[in-house]
Amino acid sequence: MDADTAAISITGLKVLRGKNLVLPGLDLLVPRGEVVGLLGPSGCGKSTLMRAIVGTQIISGGDVKVLGDTAGSAALRHRVGYMTQEASIYDDLPVAANLNYFAKILGAPPAQVAEIIERTDLGSEAKSLAADLSGGQRSRLSLAIALLGSPELLVLDEPTVGLDPVLRVALWELFAQLAAEGTTLLVSSHVMDEATRCDRLILMREGQVIAQETPGSLLERTGTDNAEDAFLALIRGAQEPGSDTPHVPKHRAGSEEP
């Protein structure tokens, strides 16, 4: 896999927000057609990385290539679907009207709207105002908009946060289905137990990628049985080179920096 065949290829990405160096020089290679989990504590730079990939983030250095083109270039605006962390929807429009508008902007076939409403299980809310939806439904509407136009790459920022477990499972099944159809999905989460649902994991901490591999090889390498412990093992391993049998402290990794 090289920069041209990869879905996302990043070298030396630097992002400065205010005086904070949020991403101090990040390298990443994401293959096509997989569900890739971007995991890490809140504040580690996941959303900033995603915005850089979509091309809405001002970057101060480095090279971000998406589907062979420079991130944010006009050619990519049809090919990349983006779901922000907060639901980006029009509260004063019904569900179907929200989708119809974005479908027109993308030039997506009108029939696709009904199909996506079905796929995201919003059928019974199609005529409701977005303002009247529950948190989970809002997030699904935001996801539904990202699916319009069948993008080759979906960048989804915490799509499963706050959803009930049944819906979460359903969404991960939808992601796997989309990947099977050839879509690349980059899905962020700060919930580590979602890691096992991904084909590949990217673990981030303090603006750095600390691991990129399949869930199986990550667990095997760290000798742990879940992603949370693997994450801690990696951090401890980085701090104390040579200590390969970490004990696991009972606090959450990372801090809530802005």
Partner 1 sequence: MSVARTLATTARVLNQVRHDHRTLGLLLLVPALLVGLVAWIFTDTPVFGQIGPAMIALFPFIVMFLVTSIATLRERRSGTLERLLSLPLGKADFILGYALAFGLLAIVQTAIAVGFAVWVCGLDVGGNLGLLFAVAIVDALLGTSLGLLASAFARSEFQVVQFMPAFVFPQVLLGGIFLPRDQLPEALEKIGDWLPLSHAIDALNAVARDDQDAGYIWLRIGFIAAWILAAIVVGSMTLRRRTP
Q: Site residues (CB under 8 A) for partner 1?
A: 17-18, 54-58, 72, 74, 77-78, 80, 82, 84, 86-94, 97, 101-102, 104-107, 129, 145
Q: Compare residues 20 and 212 and give the one whose CB is closer to partner 1.
A: 20
Residue for token pair 């701090």: 239
CB of 58 to partner 1, least distance (A): 5
Backbone angles phi, psi at 219, to 5 degrees: -65, -40
CB of 217 to partner 1, least distance (A): 33
CB of 231 to partner 1, least distance (A): 29
Q: Compare residues 73 and 243 and give the one whose CB is closer to partner 1.
A: 73
Listed in sequence order, the residues at least 6 apart from 175 whose beta carbon sits closer than 8 Å to its beta carbon are: 35, 185, 187, 197
CB of 111 to partner 1, least distance (A): 17
Q: Compare residues 8 and 192 and give the one whose CB is closer to partner 1.
A: 8
Q: What is the largest CA-CA distance in the chain?
A: 59
CB of 233 to partner 1, least distance (A): 35
Length of the chain measured in residues: 258
Spatial distance between the Cα atoms of 154 and 223, rounded to a whole number of angstroms: 32
Q: Compare residues 44 and 89 and give the one whose CB is closer to partner 1.
A: 89
Q: Compare residues 22 and 219 and give the one whose CB is closer to partner 1.
A: 22
Residue 167, Cβ density class (10 Å: 0-12 exposed, 13-18 middle, ≥19 buried): middle
CB of 210 to partner 1, least distance (A): 26
CB of 1 to partner 1, least distance (A): 25
Q: Compare residues 101 and 211 and give the one whose CB is closer to partner 1.
A: 101
Buried b (16+ CB within 10 A) or exposed e, 179-203: beeebbbbbbbbebebbebbbbbbb
What token pair was written down for 71?
């991130």
Q: Compare residues 106 and 167 and give the one whose CB is closer to partner 1.
A: 106
Backbone angles phi, psi at 213, to 5 degrees: -165, 180
Q: Which helix (H) or strand (E) holds 21?
A: strand 20-30
Provide the terminal-to-terminal Cα distance of the chain, rounded to the nearest Å: 34
